[in-house]
Structure 1
Amino acid sequence: MSRRTRRVGRLSGASVSLVALLPWALAAAGAPEAAAAEPSPAAEILAATGVKGGLVVHVGCGDGRLTAAFGAGEPYLVHGLDGDAKNVERAREYIRSLGLYGKVSVEHWTEKRLPYADNLVNLLVAERLGGIPMDEVMRVLCPNGVACIGGKKTVKPWPAEIDEWTHHLHDAGGNAVASDRVAGPPRHLQWTAGPRWARSHGYTPSTSVLDETLTCVDDTVPSTWRLVARDAFSGVLLWKRPLPEWGSKALSGTDDTGRGVTTGRFTMPPHVGKRLVAVGDTVYVTLGAGAPVTALDAATGRQRRVYAETARADEVLLSASSPSTRPPRTGPRWPPGASRPPPRPASTSAPSMRQAGACSGRRAPSWASAPAWVRTR
């Protein structure tokens, strides 16, 4: 047999062996895929509790593997506690090996009082609490926060005394007075987040609070505008969306030089803060100067719907009726001291913005499906 014939024979034999082994290889490859398809314990806990972002505390973190798994998602900040110093060292080493330390951290803790301010934690997980009383767990949980202790789920109820600020002027009625009986003079710092400085010479910021989510239009120097959502109780960043067509140049055609403060003539439209409404699990906002109103998922920032008929909107109200537009306002601007027309009466059809329910599955009410009143230029 020639060398060439022998080479072909060997290749043919190898091919036969490969074909014979192929069914076994496919079966073996299917096992890891099936295992990978199964959710991790951390994913199961997050799904069962309905917590979609915020501060997660793991009491009794052990080797840190479950603790680190909670930090795999973007909108989570994770803090582990353990009474065994050796466990803490092992957990830190493991978390560092994943490149997650900072976003996920662990601490040696043996006290019965947890190291957190009141109403700060979104999710607390523990196989057992040890000497930590359940009252202490409820103290640190934020309203609608969840404790998962030994597989048992406990939800901290939303106090009736806490109101929501869903529109630029509180609610659809336009009366900038909340019925909140908890807010008052500041007594402590709950959380702080950037940007530390923002250019705000020619406009007023727009901020809305719904349930445990706070959204605001964020102007970060140099002229980089973003829509930012943070957890209102823990301050953890949930998501960002860029706003490329924003700012004084895009909205009014005039560069913001800061002279609006001294001259009283601001370069931003007076209703720019009224382009953001947050109700239920939805944020309604214009993502550009002449853009229509877009509905975003409050927890993730994902786009749900675009209301094309609302292009060039400069004010949004959410009430029980269907979307409509008002014609552009005409006439002179009212100088100081001049006789003004009577103010627009508050809407009587606007429903209450306060809602009840557990954070494990909040659904928007039927009237929250669309912004109902859109003012256009």
Structure 2
Amino acid sequence: MRPLSLTGTLALLTVMPALGQLPVGQVVDPIVENNDTIEVSLQNLGLKRGIVGVIGISADEINSLFELCQQDGLIVFVQTDDHQLATEMRARADAAKLLGQQLFIETGSLKHIHLGNNVADRIVVSESIGNTVPETEVMRALRPRGIANIAGQQRIKSVPSGTDDWSHPYHGPDNNPQSDDLLVRGSFRTQFIGYPKFSPMPEQTVIAGGRIYKAMGHIAHKANQNAMLNKLLCINAYNGVILWQRDLSPGFMLHRNTMVATDDALYMGDHESCKIFDGETGVLRDEIKVDSKISDGPVWKWMAMRDGVLYALVGNPEVKIQTQR
């Protein structure tokens, strides 16, 4: 915890890069920070949670595939043009209760990968099939910042120029809900359908660095919303995989501007402090508290970040709200 010592209730903090603001031009991966050091293979994906494509698998790689599927949090998609091999893998996967749950096996030409655009976090193309799979097809299915091993050659997909984050509840610190994204244009297609399917009220969402942060509040109108009361979720923005989840401190009305997302962190103010959560793991990195000598209360009312500086209004205590199930 770091106390904030400033005069008045307008708290002004210069945020150093280590707390979530990256140097200009530097990009980190939503799952693993340094992609350049990862040598992706079936034995080492450098990924804890996400979607993995395995294309053109050979018989010698099947044991490695099933060892990979023992890792919780991974959904593995296999595509092969060998129907006999696919039948054998399906039988083994079914016996292990993996088929259709964590492991999906498709057959078809390897010229086209049966995945949507920008979906896979990792793609491994077997060296046994050489250059059968077009690199353009692999990169189509790979999400930005994702890593592919194409027959022994590693590729990292860059973030397309013109992509815009939604780092504050109303887009940016100026509260103008107008995106600067140059890529989102009609016609539209569904990218993914994911969880949670039911959400309590209120709800706030910010997006940055390929992650969606969703904070859900204290009011459930139906029982199917109870599980998400006072929850904070981090979701892969490309494929809907829930990367981590945390409980929020109850008693705080979150329907306000006290969430800011950066490339590698989430800043979230509440009735106690501004908490800085690591984007990759959800671990609490740091906590900013205002000294009681300079403020009439600890409640974060509003906050925004611009050019590495965090601005906040912090003040008097509020009526504590009750969770409604």
Question: Who wins on radius of gyration, i.e. which is larger?
Answer: 1
**Mapped pair 1:313 → 2:300:** yes
SS of 1:318's equivalent in the other structure is strand
Query: What CA deviation, in whole Å up to 9, does each residue of 1:108-149 have, x standing for no partner?
Result: 233521111222222110123553211111111122222112
Q: How many angstroms does 1:244 deviate by?
A: 5.0
Q: Which residue of 2 aligns with 1:68?
A: 66
Q: 1:133 to 1:169 in 2, by over 3 A?
A: same
Which structure exhibits the higher relative contact order, with contacts defined as CA atoms closer than 8 Å and separated by 6 or more residues? 2
**Mapped pair 1:276 → 2:259:** yes
AA partner of residue 276 (structure 1)? M
Distance 1:270 1:138 in 2: 39
Query: What CA deviation, in whole Å up to 9, does each residue of 1:148-200 have, x standing for no partner?
Result: 12332111221111111111121233332221011134521110113333344
Q: Which residue of 1 aligns with 2:213?
A: 215
User: Is this contact kept in 1: 2:120–2:143, CA < 8 A?
Assistant: yes
SS of 1:308's equivalent in the other structure is strand
**Pick aligned residue for 2:52 from 48, 53, 56:** 56
Q: How many angstroms does 1:270 deviate by?
A: 4.8
Q: Which residue of 2 aligns with 1:114?
A: 113
Q: Which residue of 1 aligns with 2:188?
A: 187
Q: 1:324 to 1:300 in 2, by over 3 A?
A: same
Normalised to the residue count of structure 1, the TM-score between the two structures is 0.61
Q: 1:73 to 1:210 in 2, by over 3 A?
A: farther
AA partner of residue 181 (structure 1)? L
Q: Which residue of 1 aligns with 2:230?
A: 225
User: Is this contact kept in 1: 2:303–2:313, CA < 8 A?
Assistant: no
AA partner of residue 225 (structure 2)? V
Q: How many angstroms does 1:99 deviate by?
A: 4.4
Distance 2:107 2:58 in 1: 11
Q: How many angstroms does 1:283 deviate by?
A: 1.4
**Mapped pair 1:241 → 2:242:** no
Q: 1:232 to 1:270 in 2, by over 3 A?
A: closer
Question: Is the helix fraction higher in 1 or 2?
Answer: 1
User: Is this contact kept in 2: 1:296–1:305, CA < 8 A?
Assistant: yes
**Pick aligned residue for 2:313 from 316, 319, 326:** 326
Query: What CA deviation, in whole Å up to 9, does each residue of 1:206-226 have, x standing for no partner?
Result: 111112211112456226231
SS of 2:240's equivalent in the other structure is coil
Q: How many angstroms does 1:303 deviate by?
A: 2.0
Alignment of 1:200-211 (within 5 A): 200=201, 203=202, 205-211=203-209
Q: Identity of aligned pairs, percent?
A: 20
Q: Which residue of 2 aligns with 1:29?
A: none
SS of 1:221's equivalent in the other structure is helix
Distance 2:302 2:187 in 1: 31
Q: 1:40 to 1:98 in 2, by over 3 A?
A: farther
Normalised to the residue count of structure 2, the TM-score between the two structures is 0.70
Aligned residues: 261
Q: 1:158 to 1:99 in 2, by over 3 A?
A: same
Distance 2:136 2:171 in 1: 33
Q: Which residue of 2 aligns with 1:340?
A: none
Distance 1:82 1:103 in 2: 17
Q: How many angstroms does 1:43 deviate by?
A: 5.0
Distance 1:97 1:315 in 2: 54
**Pick aligned residue for 2:88 from 79, 90, 101:** 90
Question: Is the strand fraction higher in 1 or 2?
Answer: 2
User: Is this contact kept in 1: 2:204–2:255, CA < 8 A?
Assistant: no
Q: Which residue of 1 aligns with 2:168?
A: 167
Where do 5+ consecutive residues of structure 1 fail to align?
1-38, 252-267, 330-377
